[in-house]
Amino acid sequence: MEYSVEELKKFALEEGFSNAGQLNMKALVFMPEVRQMCSADKCHAYGRNWRCPPACGSLEESAALAAQYSFGMIVQTVGHMEDEYDYETIESAGKEHADCFIKMMRKLKTRYPDILGMGAGTCRRCKTCTYPDAPCRFPEDSYSSMEAYGLWVSKVCELSGIPYNYGPNTIAYTSCFLLK
């Protein structure tokens, strides 16, 4: 299937993202080192969320799933902070990114039902995840992060020709969508 990068980029910007561009599919390298960072549990989601390790599946399963796709788009939300400790902007940019990501994923699914979305950080669909006591309440809206897939996000951006660092006092949240 042919995809229009410009059409998808325009759509992403209309949905509220700050930047978007084509993902270099060869940049999808599934690294055990990244997955090991998840197990350090610095985000407090490891073993507590259906879409985070270990519940989201093995690195091999992640790579096999992504290999079914031929095209990808990266989307970003860039927050501009008053200073490097501007936690409010960090949080609000993260929430804005997650909201835009879910909204765009829903709309893209109507056109591309087999889409695979990889978010930024842990799934934020629910305030409290049901893991491990009950099934995911919203499997159609939930998502694993690029990091949960074992992807080194800055390297994926670099190899795709998309900025990752927007300079001092900025925070960039990066996600991607894969299409068959």
For residues 15 and 42, give the distance between their C-alpha atoms in angstroms, rounded to a whole number: 30
Q: Which two tokens stand for residue 62?
A: 């992640």
Task: Please report, in tens digits, the pLDDT of each residue of the chain (180 residues total).
Answer: 889 999 999 999 999 999 999 999 999 999 999 999 888 888 888 989 999 999 999 999 999 999 999 999 999 999 999 999 999 999 999 999 999 999 999 999 999 999 999 999 888 888 899 999 999 999 988 899 999 999 999 999 999 999 999 999 999 999 999 999
> Is 0.85 surpassed by the pTM of this model?
yes
What pLDDT, on the 0 to 100 scale, is given for residue 39?
Answer: 85
For residues 146 and 126, give the distance between their C-alpha atoms in angstroms, rounded to a whole number: 19
Q: Where do the domains of the chain lie?
A: 5-179
The single residue listed with the structure tokens 């299937």 is 1
For residues 57 and 51, give the distance between their C-alpha atoms in angstroms, rounded to a whole number: 9
What pLDDT, on the 0 to 100 scale, is given for residue 133?
Answer: 95
